[in-house]
Structure 1
C-alpha cells in the first residue's frame, strides 16, 4: 500500500472513530440524555465533584461539561475538535506502526546476497 494512502486511511479512521465513539462512551459511562445514570461511573464522578465543592457541581466543571455533551450531544465545534484529535491519534498510530514494522528492504538485500 502506498504510504500516503495508508496515512490518509489512518487519519480518516481516527477521525471517524473519535466522532462516533465519544458519544457512545459518554453514554456507556453514564452521561445520558435523561441525566446521569444511577450507580454509574458518571454518578461517582458527580458525587466526588459535589463533595469537593461543598455539595454542588460547579458550572463548567468536567462533570458538568460531560453531562451537557451526554444530554445534548456534541456541538459542531466539539465534534470538529474530537475528530481532529482522533485524526491526530490515527496519524501517530500509523507512524508508530510504520516504525515498528519489519523492514522489507533488509530482506531484499539479503535475497540479493544469497543470489551472488
Structure 2
C-alpha cells in the first residue's frame, strides 16, 4: 500500500469515529432520548409496532439509542473505525 492509501485509511477511520455521534444526534438519537418527530422516532414506532408495543432489547433502535445517550462503546468505536478505514481504503484504490 502506498502512503496515500495509508492516509486515506487513517482519515476514513478518524472521520467515521468523530462523525458517528453527530450523525446519531442529527437523526434523533440524543443524550436526552429520542427526539420527537425525528427519523429515530419513526424507527422506534416501527420497531414497537413490530414487537407488540415495545422495543426489543438488543434491537437496532435500542443499540442506537444507547449509543446516542452514552456514546459509543469501545467495541462500537472499533467497528465504526473499521468501516471508515475500509471506505477510506476503497476510495484511495479508486483514485
Q: Same fold (TM over 0.5)?
A: yes
Please report the RMSD computed on the Cα atoms of aligned residues, expressed in angstroms.
Answer: 0.9
**Shift in Å at residue 4 of structure 1?**
1.2
1:103 aligned partner = none
Q: How many residues align?
A: 95
Question: Which blocks of at least 5 consecutive residues in structure 2 are unaligned?
Answer: none
CA distance in 2, matches of 1:74, 1:29: 16
Calculate the TM-score normalised by the size of structure 2: 0.96
CA distance in 1, matches of 2:73, 2:58: 15
**Shift in Å at residue 70 of structure 1?**
0.3
**Shift in Å at residue 39 of structure 1?**
0.5
Question: Which blocks of at least 5 consecutive residues in structure 1 are unaligned?
Answer: 98-116
Higher relative contact order (CA 8 A, sep 6+): 2
Tell me which of 30, 33, 57 is aligned to 1:32.
30
Calculate the TM-score normalised by the size of structure 1: 0.79
Structure (1 or 2) with the larger CA radius of gyration: 1
2:56 partner SS: coil
